[in-house]
Amino acid sequence: MLVRRSSKILLAVGVLFIALAALVRFVLVPTLSKLPGDLDVNPVYEGTGTLLNAKALQAGDIANVIVSNAPVRIDRHIYVSSTDGDTAIAHDDIVLEAAGLSVPSNHTYAIDRKTIDAANGDTGKGIEPHSGMTIALPLLPNPSASYHYYDSATGTTVPMTYLNSGAVSGRDILNYSVEAKGILRDPAIAGALPPALPKSLVGSLAPLLPAAVQHSLGGALGQLPDPVPFTYTADTHINLAADRTLGSSIDAKLNQQIIANVNVGGQLVPVMPVLSIDTSLNKQSISDAVASAKSQTMQLNLISVVAPVVLVLGVLALLMAIFRRHPRAITRPPAQRENPSVR
């Protein structure tokens, strides 16, 4: 009875361990191998910038129209609000602050949690159509892969150029560069800029402009309508250090120019940059990104070890249960036959 009871216990333990291994392998590992549903980070960029002083412009204070070397801070709130299978609704809420100017620009994306690219299918109202990476790279990014980046300022998708590998605060990283140029299509940023200026004011700005621009603009100023309408373009350069395991951003630099242009004879002539920033992630954001990457990597490593160990223990318990339930018969040696010659 004791043998049968112990074999039943071992059988139950074996089945439990194998079920636990299956749970880890087919539930926990896939969950940790894609964009987390509880993602919520607040990276901050800091640096300097040159920007248009709207108050001085409206007052006709030409000498103070341009603010140079102003402190710039960009707060990003990146989070996932909901998930549905492999689709996540991710938000990238951005606030740029410089010289008393505060410009919010919020973006909502439907992201494939595995590829981190745009999710397929109808994703609902308020979702910004896009293609390419927005908030991170996929898990275990491949340096040989052709990744693309969605630039929210221009609404275009551009290649991500792999540069090299390296390390930041003990984390192995892959360095990428991104360049995007085009018509400014972000409604939040465009809405903070004057759509047009009186012709007299544009003429007053001419002495502040480069000689080549003064030449192009000077001859055409009389032909332009009053007020003079502007077309804004964006020129963005990003250097990104992505975690080699998780694909998350560990460090980044953002340089961006918003340029006011006028249409002269069907050609856009750049008048002046109304916003030019040179920023990078601050130390605290880098430290937070490194700590988060270490924690998530530790969980992945632990899970990858636990699953096979538990599976092996489960199989061993089953084998022991079978052995105890059906022990091998102990064979006795055959009795020696009596030698008939010996009497």
- Asked if the model's pLDDT at residue 21 lies above 60, the reply is no
Contacts of 42 (CB under 8 A, 6+ apart): 75, 76, 77, 78, 285
- Asked if the model's pLDDT at residue 164 lies above 70, the reply is yes
- Asked if the model's pLDDT at residue 33 lies above 90, the reply is no
Residue 127 to residue 129: CA distance in whole angstroms: 6
Residue 123 to residue 277: CA distance in whole angstroms: 33
What is the separation of C-alpha 162 from the centre of its chain, rounded to a whole number of angstroms? 16
Its pTM stands at 0.79
Tens-digit pLDDT profile for residues 292-327: 999 888 777 666 655 555 555 555 655 666 666 665
What are the φ and ψ backbone dihedral angles of 43, each rounded to 5 degrees?
Answer: -70, 145
- Asked if the model's pLDDT at residue 341 lies above 60, the reply is no
- Asked if the model's pLDDT at residue 338 lies above 80, the reply is no
Question: Can you give the pLDDT at residue 330?
Answer: 44
Comparing 303 with 17, the larger pLDDT belongs to: 303
Tens-digit pLDDT profile for residues 195-227: 988 877 777 776 666 676 666 666 667 778 888
